[in-house]
């Protein structure tokens, strides 16, 4: 990253997108888990 400063923006964008995807997956999983618990 220090030797290649122009790639930092791309890596940061990719990391932010990846974290957002992980959060959405976790929230979706929680919603499904609560629906399964409610229906049981």
DSSP single-letter state for residue 4:
-
Position 3 scores a pLDDT of 81
**pLDDT digit string, tens, across residues 11-25:** 999 999 999 999 999
**Cα separation, 6 vs 26, whole angstroms:** 32
Mean pLDDT computed over 32-38: 95
Cα-based torsion angle of the residue sequence 28, 32, 38, 40 in order, rounded to the nearest 10 degrees: -160
């Amino acid at each position: 990253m220090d030797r290649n400063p122009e790639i930092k923006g791309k890596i940061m964008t990719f990391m932010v997108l990846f974290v957002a995807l992980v959060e959405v997956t976790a929230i979706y999983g929680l919603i499904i888990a609560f629906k399964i618990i409610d229906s049981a």
